[in-house]
Structure 1
């Protein structure tokens, strides 16, 4: 089941990133970041209500640990998204999103070191193979062609996304309800916190940026919908298995990303070495292999 949720998330995230890349041409970093959450709250609430209609469950008890993880994940995801949008403004869509995918390796290291994550040798190999493949695809001429600023922004974004994912999983595991419900509760609360913070900030500090975002309301809606559907997939998958496995399999987003980049954004994505795509497929097989 976690595999299906991850594939759905990767497909929707490729589209969300493409929409955000397009919006970033006219709207600032925080405005594009808010677009990810603005309309996602009501959709997440409808999803949670649908789960309770499908399977009755109690309202979870939100202890201090769960609330702390939820707040941390909300803030870290804002930072991660803002850094990735900045990447879009420095390089093209494929490079920006590709660099941010370093999160799988960071999640594996942090998960094992601080969160009690257990990975098999085959799982570690899958994470490493996927990371190499992503960096191969993130630059036309190898890592040497990337500026230090671009590389650092990509690693910072990937690290922030990794912490977001690890804290989302920890928050979900703290709740005493069935897995789809606990993932949906975490999703809803994270989105609401993010929306309130960013909306208030832009209203007070950058109202013009908010107006520019609302002028592209249809694109903003597309970002929110694809983001919410993607987050349902990510949060559900991470409630079922270790974050590094989810994020490594999620690198199949590169396939979707290249397709979207070529067909929707009309950007040329040149991949001289097709071995990188083979490596991504190999990494996906490794993390799906029975542990």
Structure 2
């Protein structure tokens, strides 16, 4: 049951990361805000891995071609998913697209069962479906508002996020290291690869963004720290349990985000949010019992 506290930690940290990214995005481009997730997370992930080896020394991993494929796939899929989410910002019905992007849990369940030898109990499937309905309600969407561009972008983003999580889990399993060392190695390698890719791109195409991040060290550090701690929670939880269950329970992040919105940004909650939150709680209970 250790996957439950790690998932709750990940959801809580991700909610704060989104809040800090919201502030940073006022002055920094989307690519720069994305890089802020990784730029200080790499040394933090290295410190975390070093601490694990001091606490419990184990053998060093034997990297192979399968591991490399899963790592590259996960890193690129996450960048693609983020880019598709950014595209949704430019569309009129962003909230609907974002709600569809949260289809990650149900897509991860279907793909996991079909291609990754995962299994879900009937209670697990109920939890996944309740969670999908909850995030769609919280997006304020209705089926009459849907358009093909919004639907395709939202579902494509959800698919890319689902593949990221599934490949991260497979990479952890391939290493064959004891808990939680395998997840820590995957975390470090994925973040290093993503940092290298984004730094290279910005140095080539948009150096002003790197300067903008350098001029906002506190906010950049907060984004990186919360992102790194959140990733530790996600990667560790997914090394222990099915991605679909982890991501369904992780939708409790929406509750944390609404609380942060109310108390940190002083924004009022909508009455329509209550039904979606109730479904998220029911989904969380279902997957924990599953």
Match of 2:142 in 1: 142
Alignment of 1:263-282 (within 5 A): 263-272=263-272, 274-282=274-282
- The alpha-carbon deviation at position 263 of structure 1 amounts to 2.7
CA distance in 2, matches of 1:91, 1:160: 22
Q: Distance in 2 between matches of 1:262 and 1:152?
A: 31
Q: Does 1:21 align with 2:22?
A: yes
Q: Deviation of residue 122 (structure 1)?
A: 1.1
| Structure 2 length-normalised TM | 0.92
> Is the contact between residue 88 and residue 153 of structure 2 (CA under 8 Å) also seen in structure 1?
yes
**RMSD of equivalent CA atoms:** 2.1
Q: Is the 8 A contact 1:18 1:93 kept in 2?
A: no
Contact 1:24 / 1:89 at 8 angstroms: preserved in 2? no
Work out the CA distance in 1 between the residues paired with 2:91 and 2:163.
Answer: 24
Which residue of the partner structure matches residue 174 of structure 1?
Answer: 174
Whole-angstrom distance in 2 between the partners of 1:125 and 1:57: 39
Partner of residue 184, structure 1: 184
CA distance in 2, matches of 1:95, 1:180: 36
d(CA) in 1 for partners of 2:137 and 2:154?
A: 14
Gaps of 5+ in 2: none
Whether 1:37 and 2:12 are equivalent positions in the alignment is no
User: Equivalents in 2 of 1:157, 1:236: separation in Å?
Assistant: 23
What's the counterpart of residue 216 of structure 2? 216
1:15-63 per-position Cα deviation (integer Å, ceiling 9, x unaligned): 1112222222222221111111000000000000010011010101111
> What is the alpha-carbon distance in structure 1 between the residues aligned to residue 107 and residue 79 of structure 2?
18
Structure 1 stretches of 5 or more lacking a match? Answer: none
What is the CA-CA distance between 1:142 and the residue it aligns to? 3.1
Contact 1:66 / 1:175 at 8 angstroms: preserved in 2? Answer: yes
Give CA-to-partner distance per residue, 1:117-164, whole Å, 9 cap, x none.
11111111110111001100011x534446654444332222211110
Aligned twin of 1:60: 61
Q: 2:252 maps to what in 1?
A: 252
Q: Deviations over 1:84-111 (max 9, x none)?
A: 3444565799877654322101111111
The DSSP-based 3-state class of the residue aligned with 1:27 is: coil
Equivalent-residue separation in structure 2 for 1:91 and 1:230 (angstroms): 30
Checking the alignment, whether the CA contact within 8 Å between 1:98 and 1:254 is kept in structure 2 is no
